[in-house]
A and B are shown apart, each in its own frame.
Chain A
């Protein structure tokens, strides 16, 4: 497997899908190619970074507005909201 082929097969490897044949060749390439190994690590770290971060909080005023509008719609549909 060349670096170029590895690049195209990155998804399957990063996702750890059961693409066993790809994974074996991939692992063989990585063992002998430090740059590709770091690229794979970097991608996994990038995804992990987004999964770990929760940057946006819902504004409390909006939360109150949302609650009211949902209650209103629920009442229209079911005739009650309790």
Chain B
């Protein structure tokens, strides 16, 4: 007689405990819930599809390896994203072929002393929700992201796009929260500048009329 596969439902936490007990269907459901997100984070960090596929595969293989070590200290989503980030960082390190990594802390770039100042200040011609309907805009914003130095890009992806907290982002990258905050600010200012040049309405452009000290 053919087996009947019951639909798998429940919260992410439920599925994690079922998977930890050896329930493959629960694990498959977790994979289905998170694979696109993991792939998206991976491609935004490592920048190309083949490496993003490897990162995604390694992430879920690690998940099997450590399926019984989830302690619920963070959400399942955050836990999985941290594993994915870890694998993505490994790819970046390997690509460089050196133990040196650019996302380590640097006193000059990780201070507030030389923040990039906003130059092109204008209201956007359309809302983000309207803009994102256009395939061209979606390509444009991804390519804008790739212009950010990876140490800023990773922080922006984890914190702003994926919604990890500053603390979770810091833990994932083994950085201090202070460094994450200043990198995030730089990333935000750089993205704002680029995107406002692309989507800003020139006729609303503002020129600060007082001293920006």
Contacts and interface: CB of A to CB of B under 8 A. Distances in A.
Interface of A: 2-4, 7-8, 10-11, 14, 33-35, 38-39, 41-43, 45-59, 62-63, 65-67, 69-71, 73-74, 77-78, 80-82
Interface stretch (B71-79, B81-89, B100-108, B125-133): B125-133
B18 interface: no
List the 5 closest A-B pairs by CB distance, nearest first: A48-B128, A49-B128, A52-B132, A35-B208, A81-B24
Nearest to B24: A81
6 contacts: A39-B192, A42-B124, A54-B36, A65-B57, A70-B60, A73-B61
Q: Determine chain A's interface SS by DSSP, over half rule.
A: helix
A7 B196 CA distance: 17
B115 interface: yes
Interface of B: 3, 22, 24-25, 27-28, 31, 35-36, 39-40, 43-44, 49, 52-53, 56-57, 60-61, 64-65, 112, 115, 117-118, 121-124, 127-129, 131-132, 137-139, 141-142, 145, 160-161, 163, 181, 184-185, 188-189, 191-192, 195-196, 199-200, 204, 206-208, 210, 212-213
B142 to A, nearest CB: 5
A54 to B, nearest CB: 7
Nearest to A76: B64
Contacts of B56: 58, 62, 66
A52 B137 CA distance: 11
Contact of A74 (B64, B128, B200): B64
Contact of A56 (B39, B122, B184): B39
Contacts of A34: 206
Contact of B43 (A2, A14, A56, A69): A56
Contacts of A33: 208, 210
A17 B3 CA distance: 51
Contacts of B139: 55
A55 B124 contact: no
Given A2-B213, A52-B128, A7 B192 contact: no
B141 A4 contact: no
Contact of B181 (A11, A55, A57, A63): A11
B197 to A, nearest CB: 10
